[in-house]
Amino acid sequence: MSKTFYITTPIYYVNGAPHLGHAYTSTAADVLARWHRLAGDEVFFLTGTDEHGQKVEAAARNAGIAPQEFTDRVSADFRDMAQAMNISNDDFIRTTEPRHKAACQAIWSKLQENGFIYLGAYEGWYAVRDEAFYDESETALKPDGTRYALASGAAVEWVVEPSYFFKLSAFQDRLLAFYEENPGFIAPAAKRNEILSFVRGGLNDLSISRTSFSWGVKVPGDEKHVMYVWLDALVNYLTAIGYPEMSGPRAKFWPASLHLVGKEIIRFHAVYWPAFLMGAGLELPKKVFSHGWWTVEGEKMSKSLGNFIDVRPLVQEYGLDQIRYFILREVPFGNDGDFSKESLHRRINSDLANGIGNLSQRTLSFIGKNAGAAVPPKGSLTEADEALLAEAAALPAKLHAAMDKLAFHEALDEIWRLIRAADGYIDSQAPWSLRKTDLDRMNSVLYTLCVVLRTLGVVLQPFMPETMSKLLDYLGLDEARSLAVLDVPLAEGTALPTPTGLFPRVGV
């Protein structure tokens, strides 16, 4: 029986253009979505854009256009980035859509009805750039006397205005009990410890409306107020499955299996969001995983340095699957990583061109020239054949374990271990010599290699869908390309087309 798997990226804030960091999160989510589809699960994959708030209103004003026109343009750019990276999302949500405004107002009304919202006045430090409130202990003074948020470096200003508040303080013990009962809810472990420390330190009630700007979802019954952008934004995960009507075709996907987020927004997803859901009487997501940031040649990406990387030109220059592979292989997921052309060239040449590219080309072109351009007969297998086939058969289970903990680098390590084993096997079995002495044995070796290549092609589809589709075409596979196909014997005699190289070398 298939399981449901609901995965989300954060909805990306439209005050700037999409860059490598956004592509990284989306690609990681895409790989997981594709992996679960391969495994036969029913998947719902959501991404989109976060389009309200003071920053967006200010950015639109600076651009000399209305906020809706501004958000239409930038949201379209994010959608284009997703298409350029071959992201297989099932829905793309925008917080300016009517369905989302209705969901936000519905959850507000539910929280109010349950006694968790009250009207007061907010006085405190607020960072426009972060759309976040900070305690004074979370800020510091610069030498010039201006105050900034320690967590992000953003300037903060003292704000005084009427505000509705959410009784976050009422959820401290419930949150701590939930974290205790669900130790895998927040990952990696360092982020779990950070959140536990924050919540144990005491929670203050949260200001959840503003009156000093108007670009947002109106508070039901008091339209002078717009909702705090983070309450608005987080509700998107419910909007997409049909909230408040939890009876439609997508309702089965709640609670979400995984919210994938950048480390700078872990608090919103691991503290505020669970509290909102508890307050509304809804189930909590199963996991929130925060990944690291990319630097560029050792420098943090910033507008002032002009080193923001738009992945689309990289895709044009190096190939889509090469970029997808690199960003998930280069660093353990959850850690920070550094982008450099030198590292990219090394990965493409050593892992892709010299690795799976060379293995597939030397095998399939040899079959084309020396074995009738068809899957050779299996014949009698030796201990060496059986050992390599056993290693291939064990691979999916190893990958399930790695993918469950979002260890993409470990999954790819396991795959490349099989590639290296296959390379060693070719060298030791020497089919080019067997061609002159023992054609039956040559065919058994080539059949074994075809089985291994099929395994590699199938399991690598989530990472490199276009190129692995080409490899599976070269192996004469029909449209059945899920993990289940690996349990079916490879059909001997299947005609194979003439292969071409999968990954050209670069920088040479």
Give the pLDDT score at 456: 98
Give the pLDDT score at 335: 84
Give the pLDDT score at 349: 97
DSSP secondary structure code for residue 192 in this structure: H
Of 125-139, 262-276, 341-355, minimum mean pLDDT range = 125-139
* Rounded mean pLDDT, 127-142: 89
Contacts of 266 (CB under 8 A, 6+ apart): 186, 191, 194, 195, 288, 290
Let me know if 297 is exposed, middle or buried by CB neighbors in 10 A (0-12, 13-18, 19+).
Answer: exposed
Q: 219 — phi, psi (to 5°)?
A: -70, 125
452-506: per-residue pLDDT in tens?
A: 999 999 999 999 999 999 999 999 999 889 999 999 999 999 999 999 999 999 9
pTM value?
0.93
User: Does residue 117 have a pLDDT over 80?
Assistant: yes
User: Does residue 306 have a pLDDT over 70?
Assistant: no
User: Does residue 308 have a pLDDT over 80?
Assistant: no
**Nearest alpha-carbon partner for 257 in 284, 218, 236:** 284
Structural contact between residues 30 and 85, judged by C-beta atoms closer than 8 angstroms: yes
DSSP letter string, 273-301: HHHHHHHTT-PPPS-EEEE--EEETTEE-
Give the pLDDT score at 348: 97
217-250: per-residue pLDDT in tens?
A: 999 999 999 999 899 999 999 999 999 998 889 9
Structural contact between residues 235 and 272, judged by C-beta atoms closer than 8 angstroms: no
DSSP secondary structure code for residue 319 in this structure: -
- Tell how strand 12-13 and strand 42-50 pair up: parallel
**Nearest alpha-carbon partner for 433 in 441, 424, 421, 444:** 441
Query: How far, in Å, CA of 253 to CA of 243, rounded?
Result: 12
Give the pLDDT score at 71: 96
Structural contact between residues 450 and 365, judged by C-beta atoms closer than 8 angstroms: no
Q: How confident is the model at residue 131 (pLDDT cuts 50, 70, 90)?
A: confident
Task: Give Cα separations from 10 to 93, 289, 421, 469 (angstroms).
Answer: 11, 11, 39, 29
Query: What is the residue-averaged pLDDT of the chain?
Result: 94
User: Does residue 304 have a pLDDT over 60?
Assistant: no
User: Does residue 303 have a pLDDT over 80?
Assistant: no
Structural contact between residues 407 and 31, judged by C-beta atoms closer than 8 angstroms: no
Asked, as a colleague might, if the bond just before 244 is cis with ω within 30 of 0, I would say yes
Give the pLDDT score at 280: 98
**Nearest alpha-carbon partner for 83 in 318, 309, 320:** 320
